[in-house]
Amino acid sequence: STSHGDAMYSQAATHSLADVNGAPYANQSYKPGDWMENSKSSNRRSKMIVIGSLVGLAVLIIIGVVVGVLVSKHKSSSSDSSNSNSSVKQTDPNDPSTFIKNPALHQAFYGIAYTPEGSQLPNCGNSLANVITDIQLMSQLTTRIRLYGADCNQSALVLEAIKQTKVNMTVWLGNYNVATDNGAAYTRQRDEIKNAIQTYGTDHIGGITVGNEFMLNYLTANGGAQTPPNSPTGDTGAAILIANIKDTRDMISSMQLSIPVGTADAGSYFNTKVLEAVDYGMANVHPWFANVSAEDAAAWTASFFQTTDVAAATVLSNDPKMYIAETGWPTQSSDAGNASNGPGTASEAGLQIFLDNFVCQANANGTGYFFFEYFDEPWKDAEFGGVEGWWGLFTANRTLKHITIPTCQSP
């Protein structure tokens, strides 16, 4: 089993985060004594020299100011050509839809898992400029993304970024509920989601995912992770989650809308009653945590997902659609002890192997998946260490890692 994700989202507790050197005239040498040396010259000549020198100095100052202004404007234009990050350039600095495509990127991925930078309470340091940059980059890799939660206005930020960039992107919104706060986190995020839907409509919304590893977290806290999800303890936790799922459906109905509602959990922790209550399930399927090599990771992921998650959903009368919510390969570890899972190592080479073996094959066989993840998340590394912060296709500063993106076209 696997237990990787953004647990306790709202509390930021996750288990799975041409300089111009001086004025142009600064080096000019102006010494009044140079032109005053010949004290025996006529007063007329002296005055002419004084006047000429002053005029010359004024000309130099004017030239310096003009050059300085031009350089300043050039620098301002250059910095504006990418909204918040130099990794993306725009032909029109005021129109995010004019971003220049990166030939190293291809729309090869079915979907990508994404959390906007700075979307954890209580700090909420996210920004529209950064989210626009992220959407510009991710839209060159996929037409689908999934979010984990709704705190810090991230639903609206993502939908606004999609609107401004004018890209083909569908987002699965998320509500990161917890079992121990009497519904506070759920209600807070539900209202954020409702406001975002009222503002932006549903054209770019693929679903609302209620819960991320809710059952895994509940069982871990109530008897241990070895407790079966369909045990009496599992059913108790499921009842809390199902109530939130039903409430989300009621919210959607009250708005006279139709939006699929689902849940996301660790691949072996789906409760049957929960699956019966949703339109879709998203399973975290991580070969790294199953101690599988990079070479075997794609085959293991496909097999686990089919036999554990798809099989469980197929026998149900509502036949919920199943997706892989997370799968990927870490590229480094913050400590030597977690740098290997046994047969594999956390490395860009390992990520490349998994990309080469998984992405196009999953596209071809119709598997819906959200690759984990868009970029590295330093807050996870600070909180948990090990490999937790190092799963991105991009580094935290939005630079593509030393990998080659597959060139197949996603469905």
363, containing H or E segment: helix 348-364
Region 343-348 average pLDDT: 97
SS3 content of the chain, % helix, strand, coil (to 5): 45, 10, 45
**List of long-range contacts for 192-198, beta carbons under 8 Å, 24+ apart:** 192/150, 192/151, 192/153, 192/155, 192/156, 193/150, 193/155, 193/251, 194/251, 194/255, 195/156, 196/150, 196/155, 196/156, 196/159, 197/255, 197/257, 197/259, 198/255
User: How many other CB atoms are found less than 10 A from the CB of residue 119?
Assistant: 28
C-alpha distances (whole Å) from 69 to each of 27, 72, 277 are 18, 5, 63
Residues of the chain above pLDDT 70, percent: 79
Query: At residue 261, does pLDDT exceed 80?
Result: yes
264 with 284: CB under 8 angstroms?
Answer: yes
Percent of the chain with pLDDT over 90: 79
d(CA 110, CA 146): 11
Tell me how far CA of residue 264 lies from CA of 50, 207, 213, 280, 283, in angstroms. 82, 12, 6, 9, 6
Q: Are 373 and 112 in contact (CB under 8 A)?
A: yes
For residue 61, pLDDT over 80 is answered with no
User: Does residue 122 have a cis peptide bond before it, meaning omega lies within 30 degrees of 0?
Assistant: yes
* Predicted model pTM: 0.81
Across the range 185-201, mean pLDDT stands at 98
Predicted local distance difference test score (pLDDT) of residue 20: 28
Please tell me the distance from the alpha carbon of residue 326 to that of residue 10, in angstroms, as a whole number: 19
- Encode pLDDT of 283-297 as tens digits: 999 999 999 999 999
pLDDT band at 378; cut points 50, 70, 90: very high
Distance CA 129, CA 133 (A): 6
The DSSP output letter for 327 is E
pLDDT at 287 (0 to 100): 98
Closest by alpha carbon to 345, among 302, 291, 394?
A: 291
Residues paired with residue 90 on neighbouring β-strands, in sequence order:
99
* The predicted structure's pLDDT at residue 87: 79
Count of H-run helices and E-run strands, the chain: 12, 8
pLDDT in tens, 125-148: 999 999 999 999 999 999 999 999
56-65, 204-213, 287-296, range with the lowest pLDDT: 56-65
Containing H/E element for 325?
strand 321-327
